[in-house]
Amino acid sequence: MKLKNFSPIPMKELNLLWVFLALIATSAGCQGVSMQGSGPDINLRTITRLPSALIESSGIAVSGSNRIWSHEDSGNSNELHCSDTTGNLLRTLVISNVSNTDWEDITADNDETWFIGDFGNNNNQRTDLAIYIIPDPETIEGNSVSAGIINFSLSDQTAFPPPSSGRNYDIEAMAWYADSLYLFTKDRSNPFTGIVKMYALPDQPGSYTARLSGSFFAGSTTGSGRVTAADINLHTGELMLLTNEKIISFKDYPDNRFFEGTKTEYHFITSPGQNEGLAFVSSYKLYMTEEGSGSTTGYLYEIVLPQPHSAANQVLNPNGLFVYPNPAKEFLGFSRKIEGEAAVYSVAGIFMRTLAVHNGTVNISFLKPGFYFLSVIINRRCFFVPFQKV
């Protein structure tokens, strides 16, 4: 498609759409305001047992619809293992220049770079915390790779270990967001506080002091208050934290201040074993792994989030973004580079379905003629673009 084919929506109709959208966004009023609540309880679906190489699965990342990468934790091999949803081991990748002191989580940015967190710190006494940087394993030829290294300390830790009442420096969860890595603690203080601390540091090799950037109360028991994994939805910006009893969502946050956003807790109807890994598969589906016991591996689980019913919490269209041709019959292209997914909403702000973006276009041929909104992601924020289907 060429830009010269662009035919805008008539100005009168376009203005009416934007007035309506502004009313929706204004009534929502969530951006930058801390809100919290409980969502519906989650029924975990058991998919399969993990392969025998992953008895102590500790973190997961998804590289495709049926390719799940994981690693083990303290004292195990310096390897990533790829398996599918039937439990078959597909590939093993050795990180050749580092060992596994206590690998706890794995995450990826939006540019095919992966990060492995060697920061498990049960006794709060480690002074060798590290994160290993590798390319997307799917782009690596062969069975080994050398990693770049981030060495870091925590800005507020001065004793190794601290007194038992202050032992909140074990890190088992990590997520990437806008050129930074965010680390989340698993509280091991006694008496238990249920506080989760968040640290931030650059995503480039080097030596850093991770900056304490926020905290929140996760729960009064170890099952509800100890965070063991994290992930961010690359389409919506939703941060998800995992505990043994629930997942905790943060959305509509200002800048990178996740804990000031809308907080929602989804409790598991039945708690599995020791929950360890969490990764988004799509906007409303996640995979979760648990650690096994003895010689028996744990399971891979599916978590399905409730579908949104309204576009009220989205953000108005940024200047310079439009779709073309507009009106359109079958396909829409974007004036800026868009990858991954887009979502269609009715003019009433009702979510309809998610669309895959292929070669910068989406297929809208299934829609009935009328006005709609397309929700897309730029710099990890969600924006609306109005269009007309003819």
- Cα–Cα distance measured from residue 286 to residue 293, given in angstroms and rounded to the nearest whole number: 23
- Prior bond to 161 cis, omega within 30? yes
Report the pLDDT value the prediction gives residue 73, as an integer from 0 to 100. 96
The per-residue DSSP string of 46-79 comes to EEEEPPGGGTTEEEEEEEETTEEEEEE-TTS-SE
Least confident of 31-45, 101-115, 158-172, 362-376: 31-45
Write out the two tokens for 187: 């509280």
| Alpha helices (runs of H) in the chain, residue ranges in sequence order | 11-28, 222-225
Write out the two tokens for 218: 């996760």
Report the pLDDT value the prediction gives residue 372, as an integer from 0 to 100. 87
- Cα–Cα distance measured from residue 163 to residue 244, given in angstroms and rounded to the nearest whole number: 25
The model carries a pTM of 0.74
- Cα–Cα distance measured from residue 150 to residue 274, given in angstroms and rounded to the nearest whole number: 28
Kindly list the structural domains of the chain, giving each domain's residue range(s) and its CATH number in brackets, ordered by start. 41-304 (2.115.10.20), 323-389 (2.60.40)
% of the chain at pLDDT higher than 70: 85
* CB-based contact 387:372 (threshold 8 Å): yes
- Cα–Cα distance measured from residue 329 to residue 1, given in angstroms and rounded to the nearest whole number: 13
Report the pLDDT value the prediction gives residue 150, as an integer from 0 to 100. 98
The tens digit of pLDDT for each residue in 218-242 reads 999 999 999 999 999 977 899 999 9
The tens digit of pLDDT for each residue in 139-176 reads 999 999 999 999 999 999 999 999 999 999 999 999 99
- Prior bond to 327 cis, omega within 30? yes
Within a 13 Å sphere around the CA of 99, how many CA atoms are in the beta-carbon half?
5
Q: Does the pLDDT at position 16 exceed 70?
A: no
The tens digit of pLDDT for each residue in 255-295 reads 899 999 989 999 999 988 899 999 999 888 999 999 999 99
Sequence-separated (6 or more) residues with CB below 8 Å from residue 4? none
Least confident of 26-30, 111-115, 384-388: 26-30
The tens digit of pLDDT for each residue in 173-214 reads 999 999 999 999 999 999 999 999 999 999 999 999 999 999
- Cα–Cα distance measured from residue 138 to residue 156, given in angstroms and rounded to the nearest whole number: 37
Residue 286: φ, ψ to 5°? -130, 155
Label residue 345 by pLDDT band (50, 70, 90): confident
Report the pLDDT value the prediction gives residue 181, as an integer from 0 to 100. 98
